Amino acid sequence: DKGEFPHFMLKEIHEQPDVIRRAIQGYTSDNSLDLKKLGIERLEVSKLEQIHIVACGTAYIAGLVCRSFIERTLQIPVNVEIASEFRYREPFLLGDRKTLVIVISQSGETADTLASLKYAAGHECQTLSICNVPFSSIVRHSQSSILMTAGPEIGVASTKAFIGQILCLYLWSLAAGKEKGFTSIVEIDEALAELKQLPNQVAKVLETKSDIEKIAAKYNGYKSFLFVGRGSSYPIAIEGALKLKEISYIHAEAYAAGELKHGPIALVDKDMPVLAIAPNDRYQEKTVSNILEIRARNGIIIGLGDSENKHLASVCDDLMSGPSSSNEVFQALLSTIPLQLFSYYVACQRGEDVDQPRNLAKSVTVE
Ligand code: F6R
Protein backbone atom coordinates (compact mmCIF):
# COMPACT_ATOMS: atom_id res chain seq x y z
CA ASP A 1 0.00 0.00 0.00
CA LYS A 2 1.47 3.29 -1.13
CA GLY A 3 -0.74 5.29 1.23
CA GLU A 4 -0.72 8.98 0.37
CA PHE A 5 2.27 8.61 -1.98
CA PRO A 6 2.18 8.17 -5.77
CA HIS A 7 5.08 5.70 -5.70
CA PHE A 8 6.64 3.22 -3.29
CA MET A 9 9.95 4.93 -3.80
CA LEU A 10 8.68 8.24 -2.44
CA LYS A 11 6.92 6.47 0.41
CA GLU A 12 10.09 4.62 1.32
CA ILE A 13 12.16 7.80 1.17
CA HIS A 14 9.72 9.29 3.68
CA GLU A 15 9.96 6.26 5.96
CA GLN A 16 13.63 6.92 6.62
CA PRO A 17 13.19 8.85 9.89
CA ASP A 18 11.30 5.81 11.19
CA VAL A 19 14.01 3.43 10.00
CA ILE A 20 16.42 5.37 12.21
CA ARG A 21 14.01 5.45 15.17
CA ARG A 22 13.51 1.69 14.89
CA ALA A 23 17.28 1.18 14.78
CA ILE A 24 17.67 3.16 18.00
CA GLN A 25 14.92 1.11 19.62
CA GLY A 26 16.04 -2.19 18.17
CA TYR A 27 19.79 -2.08 18.78
CA THR A 28 19.92 -0.33 22.13
CA SER A 29 18.48 -1.06 25.52
CA ASP A 30 18.76 1.21 28.55
CA ASN A 31 20.84 3.60 26.47
CA SER A 32 23.54 1.06 25.74
CA LEU A 33 24.17 -1.09 22.68
CA ASP A 34 22.46 -4.46 22.49
CA LEU A 35 25.38 -6.76 21.69
CA LYS A 36 23.15 -9.66 20.81
CA LYS A 37 21.02 -7.80 18.28
CA LEU A 38 24.20 -6.31 16.83
CA GLY A 39 25.58 -9.77 16.16
CA ILE A 40 28.57 -9.42 18.50
CA GLU A 41 27.80 -12.40 20.72
CA ARG A 42 28.35 -14.93 17.98
CA LEU A 43 31.67 -13.43 16.87
CA GLU A 44 35.17 -13.59 18.33
CA VAL A 45 35.96 -9.91 17.92
CA SER A 46 39.27 -10.03 19.82
CA LYS A 47 40.73 -12.36 17.17
CA LEU A 48 40.08 -10.06 14.23
CA GLU A 49 43.01 -8.70 12.24
CA GLN A 50 41.26 -7.73 9.00
CA ILE A 51 37.76 -7.08 7.67
CA HIS A 52 36.33 -7.43 4.17
CA ILE A 53 32.93 -5.93 3.49
CA VAL A 54 31.43 -7.61 0.45
CA ALA A 55 28.19 -6.71 -1.33
CA CYS A 56 26.61 -5.55 -4.60
CA GLY A 57 25.20 -2.22 -5.77
CA THR A 58 23.83 0.07 -3.11
CA ALA A 59 24.71 -2.39 -0.33
CA TYR A 60 28.35 -2.20 -1.45
CA ILE A 61 28.16 1.59 -1.25
CA ALA A 62 26.92 1.34 2.37
CA GLY A 63 30.18 -0.50 3.08
CA LEU A 64 32.19 2.30 1.48
CA VAL A 65 30.44 4.87 3.66
CA CYS A 66 31.43 3.13 6.89
CA ARG A 67 34.88 1.89 5.96
CA SER A 68 36.99 4.67 7.51
CA PHE A 69 34.90 4.74 10.65
CA ILE A 70 35.33 0.98 11.15
CA GLU A 71 39.07 1.18 10.51
CA ARG A 72 39.49 3.95 13.04
CA THR A 73 37.22 2.30 15.59
CA LEU A 74 38.73 -1.19 15.43
CA GLN A 75 42.23 -0.22 14.29
CA ILE A 76 42.42 -2.94 11.67
CA PRO A 77 42.37 -2.66 7.87
CA VAL A 78 38.97 -2.76 6.17
CA ASN A 79 38.54 -3.62 2.50
CA VAL A 80 35.23 -3.00 0.75
CA GLU A 81 34.63 -5.04 -2.36
CA ILE A 82 32.04 -5.91 -4.98
CA ALA A 83 30.85 -9.48 -4.46
CA SER A 84 31.13 -10.56 -8.10
CA GLU A 85 34.84 -9.70 -7.97
CA PHE A 86 35.59 -10.96 -4.47
CA ARG A 87 34.16 -14.43 -5.09
CA TYR A 88 36.40 -15.15 -8.06
CA ARG A 89 39.64 -13.30 -7.52
CA GLU A 90 40.91 -15.63 -4.77
CA PRO A 91 41.45 -12.85 -2.21
CA PHE A 92 44.18 -13.22 0.38
CA LEU A 93 42.37 -13.97 3.62
CA LEU A 94 44.06 -14.55 6.95
CA GLY A 95 42.61 -17.87 8.14
CA ASP A 96 42.28 -19.11 11.68
CA ARG A 97 39.27 -16.83 12.33
CA LYS A 98 41.42 -13.69 12.01
CA THR A 99 39.38 -12.34 9.09
CA LEU A 100 35.80 -11.16 9.31
CA VAL A 101 33.82 -11.04 6.10
CA ILE A 102 30.77 -8.81 6.46
CA VAL A 103 28.21 -9.30 3.71
CA ILE A 104 25.42 -6.78 3.23
CA SER A 105 22.23 -7.54 1.32
CA GLN A 106 18.75 -6.09 1.46
CA SER A 107 17.15 -9.21 -0.04
CA GLY A 108 19.51 -11.74 1.52
CA GLU A 109 19.36 -13.68 -1.76
CA THR A 110 21.89 -11.97 -4.04
CA ALA A 111 23.80 -14.77 -5.78
CA ASP A 112 27.27 -13.18 -5.82
CA THR A 113 27.00 -12.04 -2.21
CA LEU A 114 25.90 -15.51 -1.08
CA ALA A 115 28.76 -17.10 -3.02
CA SER A 116 31.24 -14.70 -1.37
CA LEU A 117 29.87 -15.62 2.03
CA LYS A 118 30.31 -19.32 1.33
CA TYR A 119 33.83 -18.68 0.04
CA ALA A 120 34.72 -16.87 3.27
CA ALA A 121 33.21 -19.58 5.45
CA GLY A 122 35.27 -22.13 3.52
CA HIS A 123 38.48 -20.21 4.27
CA GLU A 124 38.34 -20.17 8.07
CA CYS A 125 36.92 -16.65 8.20
CA GLN A 126 34.33 -15.38 10.59
CA THR A 127 31.18 -14.14 8.86
CA LEU A 128 28.56 -11.54 9.67
CA SER A 129 25.59 -10.65 7.49
CA ILE A 130 23.47 -7.51 7.46
CA CYS A 131 20.14 -8.27 5.79
CA ASN A 132 16.62 -6.94 5.62
CA VAL A 133 14.91 -10.31 5.20
CA PRO A 134 14.95 -12.70 8.15
CA PHE A 135 15.65 -16.38 7.33
CA SER A 136 16.97 -15.44 3.89
CA SER A 137 19.71 -17.60 2.34
CA ILE A 138 22.46 -15.18 3.39
CA VAL A 139 21.21 -15.04 6.97
CA ARG A 140 21.03 -18.83 7.11
CA HIS A 141 24.59 -19.25 5.86
CA SER A 142 26.27 -16.75 8.16
CA GLN A 143 27.83 -17.27 11.55
CA SER A 144 26.26 -14.11 12.90
CA SER A 145 23.73 -11.67 11.51
CA ILE A 146 22.06 -8.35 12.08
CA LEU A 147 18.52 -7.80 10.88
CA MET A 148 18.04 -4.33 9.42
CA THR A 149 15.16 -2.16 10.61
CA ALA A 150 14.13 -0.88 7.17
CA GLY A 151 10.97 -2.98 6.85
CA PRO A 152 9.97 -4.41 3.46
CA GLU A 153 11.34 -2.40 0.54
CA ILE A 154 9.15 -2.56 -2.57
CA GLY A 155 10.66 0.09 -4.88
CA VAL A 156 13.35 -1.55 -6.97
CA ALA A 157 15.77 1.32 -6.33
CA SER A 158 17.07 0.92 -2.82
CA THR A 159 16.47 3.91 -0.52
CA LYS A 160 15.55 3.15 3.08
CA ALA A 161 17.48 -0.14 3.02
CA PHE A 162 20.66 1.86 2.33
CA ILE A 163 20.04 3.96 5.43
CA GLY A 164 19.33 0.78 7.43
CA GLN A 165 22.57 -0.80 6.23
CA ILE A 166 24.66 2.23 7.17
CA LEU A 167 23.12 2.29 10.65
CA CYS A 168 23.79 -1.42 11.21
CA LEU A 169 27.42 -1.11 10.19
CA TYR A 170 27.93 2.01 12.27
CA LEU A 171 26.37 0.57 15.43
CA TRP A 172 28.05 -2.79 14.91
CA SER A 173 31.46 -1.12 14.77
CA LEU A 174 30.78 0.84 17.96
CA ALA A 175 29.72 -2.39 19.68
CA ALA A 176 32.76 -4.25 18.35
CA GLY A 177 34.97 -1.35 19.48
CA LYS A 178 33.51 -1.65 22.95
CA GLU A 179 34.11 -5.38 22.94
CA LYS A 180 37.76 -4.77 21.98
CA GLY A 181 38.15 -2.15 24.70
CA PHE A 182 38.79 0.62 22.16
CA THR A 183 35.48 2.46 22.43
CA SER A 184 34.53 3.98 25.74
CA ILE A 185 31.07 4.20 27.26
CA VAL A 186 31.31 8.00 26.94
CA GLU A 187 31.97 7.72 23.21
CA ILE A 188 28.99 5.41 22.81
CA ASP A 189 26.79 7.76 24.82
CA GLU A 190 27.82 10.65 22.61
CA ALA A 191 27.21 8.66 19.43
CA LEU A 192 23.76 7.59 20.60
CA ALA A 193 22.87 11.14 21.60
CA GLU A 194 23.80 12.33 18.10
CA LEU A 195 21.94 9.43 16.54
CA LYS A 196 18.76 10.49 18.33
CA GLN A 197 18.93 13.83 16.49
CA LEU A 198 19.06 12.15 13.09
CA PRO A 199 15.37 11.31 12.50
CA ASN A 200 14.44 14.98 12.86
CA GLN A 201 17.35 16.08 10.72
CA VAL A 202 16.23 13.68 7.98
CA ALA A 203 12.64 14.88 8.34
CA LYS A 204 13.89 18.47 7.83
CA VAL A 205 15.63 17.46 4.61
CA LEU A 206 12.38 15.88 3.42
CA GLU A 207 10.68 19.23 3.92
CA THR A 208 12.93 20.72 1.23
CA LYS A 209 11.49 18.37 -1.41
CA SER A 210 9.68 21.04 -3.40
CA ASP A 211 12.97 22.95 -3.79
CA ILE A 212 14.61 19.76 -5.05
CA GLU A 213 11.69 19.14 -7.39
CA LYS A 214 12.27 22.58 -8.92
CA ILE A 215 15.98 21.96 -9.37
CA ALA A 216 15.16 18.57 -10.93
CA ALA A 217 12.80 20.31 -13.38
CA LYS A 218 15.61 22.61 -14.45
CA TYR A 219 18.05 19.79 -15.17
CA ASN A 220 15.91 16.83 -16.23
CA GLY A 221 16.70 17.30 -19.93
CA TYR A 222 20.46 16.78 -19.69
CA LYS A 223 21.94 13.59 -21.09
CA SER A 224 24.82 13.12 -18.70
CA PHE A 225 25.85 14.06 -15.16
CA LEU A 226 29.02 13.86 -13.09
CA PHE A 227 28.72 13.41 -9.32
CA VAL A 228 31.71 14.32 -7.16
CA GLY A 229 32.58 14.34 -3.47
CA ARG A 230 35.42 13.73 -1.03
CA GLY A 231 35.67 11.69 2.15
CA SER A 232 32.35 10.12 3.09
CA SER A 233 30.69 12.26 0.39
CA TYR A 234 32.51 10.25 -2.29
CA PRO A 235 30.45 7.07 -1.75
CA ILE A 236 27.35 9.28 -1.68
CA ALA A 237 28.35 10.62 -5.09
CA ILE A 238 28.49 6.99 -6.28
CA GLU A 239 25.09 6.27 -4.74
CA GLY A 240 23.59 9.47 -6.21
CA ALA A 241 24.84 8.58 -9.69
CA LEU A 242 23.62 4.99 -9.38
CA LYS A 243 20.14 6.11 -8.35
CA LEU A 244 19.91 8.61 -11.22
CA LYS A 245 20.91 6.11 -13.90
CA GLU A 246 18.74 3.33 -12.49
CA ILE A 247 15.44 5.15 -12.52
CA SER A 248 15.84 8.00 -15.01
CA TYR A 249 18.16 6.21 -17.51
CA ILE A 250 20.37 9.29 -17.63
CA HIS A 251 24.07 8.59 -17.83
CA ALA A 252 25.75 9.53 -14.55
CA GLU A 253 29.24 8.85 -13.28
CA ALA A 254 30.79 9.46 -9.90
CA TYR A 255 34.33 10.51 -9.15
CA ALA A 256 36.30 11.38 -6.08
CA ALA A 257 36.57 15.16 -6.55
CA GLY A 258 40.36 14.95 -6.41
CA GLU A 259 40.37 12.61 -9.41
CA LEU A 260 38.75 15.16 -11.74
CA LYS A 261 42.00 16.53 -13.04
CA HIS A 262 43.26 13.02 -13.75
CA GLY A 263 40.89 12.61 -16.66
CA PRO A 264 37.18 13.33 -16.24
CA ILE A 265 37.55 17.12 -16.29
CA ALA A 266 38.11 16.71 -20.04
CA LEU A 267 34.39 15.89 -20.27
CA VAL A 268 33.24 19.07 -18.59
CA ASP A 269 31.28 21.50 -20.74
CA LYS A 270 27.97 23.34 -20.62
CA ASP A 271 26.07 20.16 -21.49
CA MET A 272 27.10 18.06 -18.51
CA PRO A 273 26.07 19.30 -15.06
CA VAL A 274 28.35 18.37 -12.18
CA LEU A 275 26.65 17.57 -8.90
CA ALA A 276 29.13 18.42 -6.16
CA ILE A 277 28.54 17.21 -2.61
CA ALA A 278 30.24 19.74 -0.37
CA PRO A 279 29.01 19.66 3.23
CA ASN A 280 30.64 21.78 5.94
CA ASP A 281 33.43 19.34 6.70
CA ARG A 282 37.20 19.21 6.55
CA TYR A 283 37.07 18.44 2.82
CA GLN A 284 34.87 21.36 1.82
CA GLU A 285 37.59 23.80 0.85
CA LYS A 286 39.19 21.22 -1.45
CA THR A 287 35.86 20.40 -3.08
CA VAL A 288 35.18 24.12 -3.60
CA SER A 289 38.52 24.40 -5.43
CA ASN A 290 37.37 21.59 -7.71
CA ILE A 291 34.09 23.42 -8.25
CA LEU A 292 36.02 26.52 -9.30
CA GLU A 293 38.04 24.47 -11.79
CA ILE A 294 34.80 23.16 -13.30
CA ARG A 295 33.36 26.67 -13.52
CA ALA A 296 36.49 27.88 -15.26
CA ARG A 297 35.67 25.34 -17.99
CA ASN A 298 32.07 26.54 -18.38
CA GLY A 299 30.71 23.63 -16.38
CA ILE A 300 27.39 23.82 -14.57
CA ILE A 301 27.45 23.14 -10.83
CA ILE A 302 24.58 21.79 -8.77
CA GLY A 303 25.87 21.88 -5.21
CA LEU A 304 24.67 19.93 -2.22
CA GLY A 305 25.58 21.54 1.07
CA ASP A 306 24.76 24.17 3.65
CA SER A 307 22.50 26.76 2.01
CA GLU A 308 23.58 29.32 4.62
CA ASN A 309 27.16 29.01 3.40
CA LYS A 310 27.39 32.10 1.20
CA HIS A 311 30.69 31.20 -0.37
CA LEU A 312 29.44 27.77 -1.42
CA ALA A 313 26.17 29.25 -2.71
CA SER A 314 28.10 31.82 -4.74
CA VAL A 315 30.11 29.20 -6.65
CA CYS A 316 27.13 26.95 -7.50
CA ASP A 317 24.51 27.49 -10.20
CA ASP A 318 21.99 25.84 -7.89
CA LEU A 319 22.40 24.60 -4.34
CA MET A 320 20.39 21.79 -2.78
CA SER A 321 20.26 22.36 0.92
CA GLY A 322 21.63 19.62 3.15
CA PRO A 323 22.36 19.71 6.87
CA SER A 324 25.84 19.29 8.29
CA SER A 325 26.99 16.79 10.89
CA SER A 326 30.37 16.48 12.54
CA ASN A 327 29.97 12.71 12.32
CA GLU A 328 31.16 11.60 8.87
CA VAL A 329 28.79 8.61 8.73
CA PHE A 330 25.76 10.70 9.68
CA GLN A 331 26.88 13.36 7.21
CA ALA A 332 26.86 10.78 4.43
CA LEU A 333 23.45 9.54 5.49
CA LEU A 334 22.02 13.07 5.51
CA SER A 335 23.48 13.92 2.09
CA THR A 336 21.86 10.81 0.62
CA ILE A 337 18.30 12.08 1.09
CA PRO A 338 18.35 15.07 -1.31
CA LEU A 339 19.97 12.90 -3.98
CA GLN A 340 17.27 10.23 -3.65
CA LEU A 341 14.66 12.96 -4.10
CA PHE A 342 16.56 14.48 -7.01
CA SER A 343 16.59 11.21 -8.98
CA TYR A 344 13.02 10.51 -8.02
CA TYR A 345 11.78 13.83 -9.38
CA VAL A 346 13.95 13.72 -12.50
CA ALA A 347 12.61 10.23 -13.31
CA CYS A 348 8.99 11.23 -12.65
CA GLN A 349 9.32 14.38 -14.73
CA ARG A 350 10.67 12.27 -17.59
CA GLY A 351 7.68 9.96 -17.27
CA GLU A 352 9.62 6.88 -16.18
CA ASP A 353 8.29 4.05 -14.03
CA VAL A 354 10.30 4.77 -10.88
CA ASP A 355 9.16 1.73 -8.91
CA GLN A 356 9.81 -0.76 -11.72
CA PRO A 357 12.73 0.50 -13.78
CA ARG A 358 13.41 -1.42 -16.99
CA ASN A 359 15.85 -4.35 -16.93
CA LEU A 360 16.15 -4.42 -13.13
CA ALA A 361 14.93 -6.93 -10.56
CA LYS A 362 14.55 -6.39 -6.84
CA SER A 363 16.34 -9.59 -6.00
CA VAL A 364 19.26 -10.76 -8.18
CA THR A 365 19.44 -14.49 -7.56
CA VAL A 366 21.54 -15.30 -10.63
CA GLU A 367 25.06 -14.03 -11.26
C1 F6R B 1 20.23 -0.07 -6.21
C2 F6R B 1 19.86 -1.44 -5.92
C3 F6R B 1 20.83 -2.53 -6.19
C4 F6R B 1 20.96 -3.45 -4.98
C5 F6R B 1 21.85 -4.64 -5.29
C6 F6R B 1 22.09 -5.53 -4.09
O7 F6R B 1 19.21 0.81 -5.95
O8 F6R B 1 18.77 -1.70 -5.44
O9 F6R B 1 22.07 -2.00 -6.55
O10 F6R B 1 21.47 -2.70 -3.91
O11 F6R B 1 21.28 -5.40 -6.32
O12 F6R B 1 20.91 -6.11 -3.65
P13 F6R B 1 20.80 -6.75 -2.22
O14 F6R B 1 21.03 -5.66 -1.22
O15 F6R B 1 19.43 -7.35 -2.15
O16 F6R B 1 21.89 -7.78 -2.12
State if residue 57 touches ligand 1 by the CB under 6 angstroms criterion.
Answer: yes
Per-residue pLDDT tens digits for 121-163: 999 999 999 999 999 999 999 999 999 999 999 988 999 999 9
Is the predicted pLDDT of residue 357 greater than 90, yes or no?
no
Is 178 a catalytic site residue? no
Q: Is 113 near ligand 1, meaning CB less than 6 Å away?
A: yes
pLDDT in tens, 217-247: 999 999 999 999 999 999 999 999 999 999 9
For position 143, what pLDDT does the model report? 98
ipTM beyond 0.95? Answer: yes
CA–CA separation, 191 and 15 (whole Å): 22
Q: Which pTM does this prediction carry? A: 0.97
The residue-averaged pLDDT of 300-329 equals: 96
CA 60 to centroid of ligand 1, rounded, Å? 8
Position 4 pLDDT exceeds 90:
yes
Can you give the pLDDT at residue 282? Answer: 95
- pLDDT above 90 coverage of the chain, percent: 94
pLDDT band for position 362 (50/70/90)?
A: confident
Give residue 32 CA to ligand 1 midpoint distance, Å: 31
Of 53, 56, 244, the residue with max ligand 1 atoms within 8 A of its CB, to mutate for a pocket test, comes to 56
Select from 82, 107, 148 the residue to mutate for testing ligand 1; criterion: most ligand atoms less than 8 Å from CB. Answer: 107
Task: Kindly state if the Cβ of 84 falls inside 6 Å of ligand 1.
Answer: no
- pLDDT of 364 > 90? The answer is no
Average pLDDT over residues 93-107: 96
User: Ligand 1 atom 4: the closest Cα is on which residue?
Assistant: 57
Arithmetic mean of pLDDT, 92-117: 97
Q: Is residue 366's pLDDT more than 90?
A: no
pLDDT at 30: 86
Compute the half-sphere exposure of residue 158: CA atoms within 13 Å on the CB side of its CA.
26
Give 17-64 pLDDT, tens digit per residue.
999 999 999 999 988 999 999 999 999 999 999 999 999 999 999 999
